Amino acid sequence: MGSIPDPGELTELAQPSFDEFQRQTSLMTSCTLLWKELSDHFSSLEQDLLKKSEALKLKIRTLDNETKESLHELEKREVSIDGCVEIALENVEKHKEAALLALLKKDPQDDDENGEVDNGDGLVLKLKSFGLRMDASGLWGFIIGKKKELEALRSQMPLALADCVDPAKLVLEAISEVFPVDKRGEKSEKNNNDLGWACVLMLESLIPVVVDPVVGKSRPLVTPTVKKHAKEIAETWKASLEERGGIENVKTPDVHTFLQHLVTFGIVKKEDLDLYRKLVIGSAWRKQMPKLAVSLGLGNEMPDMIEELISKGQQLDAVHFTYEVGLVDRFPPVPLLKAFLKDARKVAASILEDPNNVGRAAYLASRKEQSALRAVIKCIEEYKLEAEFPPENLKKRLEQLEKIKTDKKKPAAVAPANKRTRTSNSNGGLMPPAKAGRLTNAYVSSFPAAPTFVRSPSHGQYPTALPPYPSPPHMYGSRSPPYAYSPEAAPSFAGSYPAPMNYPAYGSYGNGMAPTYQQAYYR
């Protein structure tokens, strides 16, 4: 057997290799990095799981709260049904008695054939008389004849509808002449009149009348028959969209009436939210559209709708929507208003450069910029943005544009008609009569224009044709407006000046042909 070496005995150790040491060092470094990477990865997974867990817990608590609120609301609605029905029946009996008394009395329209009423009490009494008698056609005719008293109607209409036996039915019957389909006939002269304002007025006035006294606006007090009829009207209007040319071609007053109809009667459908959104975007410039959008259930889609309006260049409308839903921090109003003004100036500049509309280009461009300035100034004042966007410079610019417009409207000073005198020009020739300076539709060109000669209406008194009237050479190239020529001022020494080389000589005025430049002049 071999002997066991003594532990204390020194044995010869192998010489360590530098390459092996370097390999071991590299291996340890790789393991350390891999361990750190795996540790960070698992820590990230753990953090993500914690966040998702917290989000799920928050959603669960939110759903529990919403469920409790919904159950409480349903219980409240169920408990309040009997009380609301009793209130409605009492109102019906009270209004029925008032209606019977009104029918026995003299018709108030007999006292005033022209329908003139005093402001205040007189107006509301007139409206109540139609409501008590459920005279839908009479109420409609009275309202559309009082458009100038729109604010008074808006304040008094709910009071008048409150006395009706069935105000919802009265409103539907009243607006049925134009909504959902216009029944006035294509050949009617009144068919061109927009009566959407009257429909919206009555539908808005109906909301406080039919609101549930316990639950609120979420449950309008409307009979099942009337609500069913309101749904049929909404479906009829939607079906007529194809006949109107689609959503893009439907008139804004019709859109406003339809959306207000849905909100008033509480017949909004979730499956039609996409249609509602397109209609709101297409008529976003209407003042009531932001509120209607929220009432239609589009509150969650408001950020996307605002971005769509901005992309379409409707920054001003986007500002109104942002304030309605409280997204001012996400969509600051001042940059939007400045972008709106910048786009308006670009449009005005493009109008000025339009060669097909030179005559009215300056007027249209000025009008476009004025409209944009007024809208922005009004928006600044409405939302108290003076500190962020001072309107002083905008008001000065608006005054400048209005002053230019006023100066252009001032008539030029002309000589009286009974003092038509002819003075000699620098070349010894007689100048045309003062009547020639009274033409107002002169076409101003940037190129030199030759004088235009217009035959006088009284030229028939001359039996023979007059020789052409040559103009002095120095007048060609003048930018002054052409003047009218009258045979009364025809010189007797015509032909003393040679005709210019660049223009053909005019023929006789008695040949029945109008001068070439006359057509352009009256264009």
Per-residue pLDDT tens over the stretch 434-463: 444 433 333 333 334 444 444 444 444 434
Q: What is the pLDDT of residues 233-270, one digit of tens each?
A: 999 999 988 888 888 888 999 999 999 999 999 999 99
DSSP 495-512: TSSPPPTTSPPP--GGGS
At 403-435, the pLDDT tens digits run 876 655 555 555 454 444 444 444 444 444 444
Reported as a pLDDT band with limits 50, 70 and 90, residue 219 is confident
Q: What is the pLDDT of residue 237?
A: 94
**The pLDDT value given to residue 2:** 52
Report how far Cα 393 is from the mean position of its chain's Cα atoms: 25
Interval 306-313 mean pLDDT:
94
Residue 470 pLDDT greater than 80, yes or no: no
Taking CB atoms within 8 Å and a gap of at least 24, the contacts of 479-483 are: 479/444, 479/445, 479/448, 479/449, 481/439, 481/442, 481/443, 481/444, 482/439, 482/442, 482/449, 482/450, 482/451, 482/452, 482/517, 482/521, 483/432, 483/436, 483/437, 483/439, 483/451, 483/452
C-alpha to C-alpha distances, 392 to 339, 348, 358, 389, 422, nearest whole angstrom? 18, 21, 32, 9, 51
Give the side-chain half-sphere CA count within 13 A for 254: 21
- Mean pLDDT for 159-169 is 88
Please answer whether residues 169 and 224 qualify as being in contact, where contact means their C-beta atoms are separated by less than 8 angstroms: no
Mean pLDDT of the region 146-153: 90
* 63-67, 337-341, 494-498, range with the lowest pLDDT: 494-498
The structure tokens 């969509």 sit at 331
Q: Summarize the confidence of residues 459-469 as an average pLDDT.
A: 43
**Nearest Cα residue to 195 out of 186, 206, 187, 184:** 184
Question: What is the DSSP track for 249-295?
Answer: GS-HHHHHHHHHHHHHHT---GGGHHHHHHHHHHTTTSTTHHHHHHH
Give me the chain's average pLDDT, please: 75
Residue with the bigger pLDDT between 183 and 484: it is: 183
Q: What is the mean pLDDT of residues 97-122?
A: 55
DSSP H stretches of helix in 105-149 = 121-132, 136-144
Is the pLDDT score of 160 beyond 80? yes
Mean pLDDT over 103-113 rounds to 52
Under 8 Å between Cβ of 322 and 385: no
75 has pLDDT over 70: yes
Q: Which of the four pLDDT bands, split at 50, 70 and 90, describes residue 378?
A: very high
